[in-house]
Amino acid sequence: MNILNLGGGGFIGSHLTKRLLDEGHSVTVVDLWTDKVEEFLDHPRLTFVQQDIRSPQFHIDPFVEAADLVIDLIAYANPGLYLRIPIEVFRLNFQENLKIAEACVHHKKRLIQFSTCEVYGRTAATLKHARLADPEDPIHATFSEDESEFILGPVNRHRWIYACSKQLLERVLHAYGLEAGFNYTIVRPFNFIGPKIDFLQSEQEGIPRVFSFFMDALINGTTMKLVDGGEQRRCYTYIDDAIEGTYAIVENPGGVCDRQIFNLGSPYNEISIRQLAETMREIYAEQFRDPAIPLPNIVSVPGETFYGKGYDDSNRRIPDITKARTLLGWEPVWPVRKMLEATMSYYVHEYPRTKPVAVAY
């Protein structure tokens, strides 16, 4: 196939681009940055278009028309940006992505749209009058694609503008499917982690995702900061597992992915952010530590101090992957410690220290 991979130079995108090329596809990547795909920029079946899709000079239609399949990974996916530039987060995550979707509708092209598990928001246990018999029962934090309710914070907690933008885009795709027969598949990633995930805090201005923030602290001996004590729980998914699931969606055997939403995540890998910090520090001390650099302290900081006014968060997210198991035969296999060891090894031994930040994808 000729595949248009928008945002194909980012963390998820670069791993997916490699897999698509390895499988024999021709891939056109549109991205702002080349640093994560430099090793295969000269591949004969790769066309790299270094462009910002928001540019008035960029027109998406001819790229969509020439493709057999469109994959859209373009997003601001960083909580620090949701608070600092919420309008631009909305514009990119909804308005610009809607232009891509409507081009696919117009040209009758299948679209794989990456969304986010953040659309699920908080759990019922956070509601003031929930009165749950056992708030810790995982059933209250396990989210399924077609049945779970969305519980988001109030408008003045504008951290939720990202989740709202993604949720609105999902609803519009669903509506186009109903009214125009549009063929789409929505992917909701659950905390993918792996080599190339992010930049390191000490190299660039801004706040990276939690793994990279902790990794930077370990390498440089600075403080590992836990937002609001690090009690939030997440299910981490290794990028290799994520790409296996995504490629199964690309193949779409028998059309089982048509107009479907898939959680891609590992329900076995639930861990609190505090446990993540402690596990990473333990692994680093055992395998990677430079004796000249002290191990960092782990401290708690208020969310609004770390991110800014308007911060809020999901307390717990566990993916129900029944649909991916049943329709795709997909099962994640990487446990937390193994994926942390592999990802940390990359940042210790292979990570290029002078590359620019791919802030948008």
Domain spans in the chain, listed from the N-terminal domain onward: 2-349
DSSP string spanning 207-263? ---HHHHHHHHHHHT--EEEEGGG--EEE-EEHHHHHHHHHHHHH-GGGTTTTEEEE
Instruction: Give the pLDDT confidence score for residue 129 in this predicted structure.
Output: 85
Instruction: Give the pLDDT confidence score for residue 5 in this predicted structure.
Output: 98
Low-confidence spans in the chain with pLDDT less than 70 = 201-207, 353-361
The whole-angstrom separation of Cα 303 and Cα 300 is 9
Instruction: Give the pLDDT confidence score for residue 199 in this predicted structure.
Output: 75
Instruction: Give the pLDDT confidence score for residue 249 in this predicted structure.
Output: 98
User: Catalytic one among 162, 236, 238, 311?
Assistant: 162
Instruction: Give the pLDDT confidence score for residue 204 in this predicted structure.
Output: 57
Instruction: Give the pLDDT confidence score for residue 207 in this predicted structure.
Output: 66
Instruction: Give the pLDDT confidence score for residue 353 in this predicted structure.
Output: 61
Of the chain, the end-to-end C-alpha distance in Å amounts to 24
Ranges of H-type helices in the chain: 11-22, 61-66, 79-84, 86-90, 97-107, 161-180, 210-220, 239-251, 273-287, 303-306, 322-323, 336-349
The whole-angstrom separation of Cα 236 and Cα 267 is 8
Catalytic annotation present for 162: yes
Decide: helix, strand or coil at residue 77: coil
Give the other-Cβ count within 10 Å of 134's Cβ. Answer: 9
Instruction: Give the pLDDT confidence score for residue 235 in this predicted structure.
Output: 98
Pairing type for strands 270-272 and 233-235 reads antiparallel
CATH class as words, domain 2-349? alpha beta
Instruction: Give the pLDDT confidence score for residue 80 in this predicted structure.
Output: 84
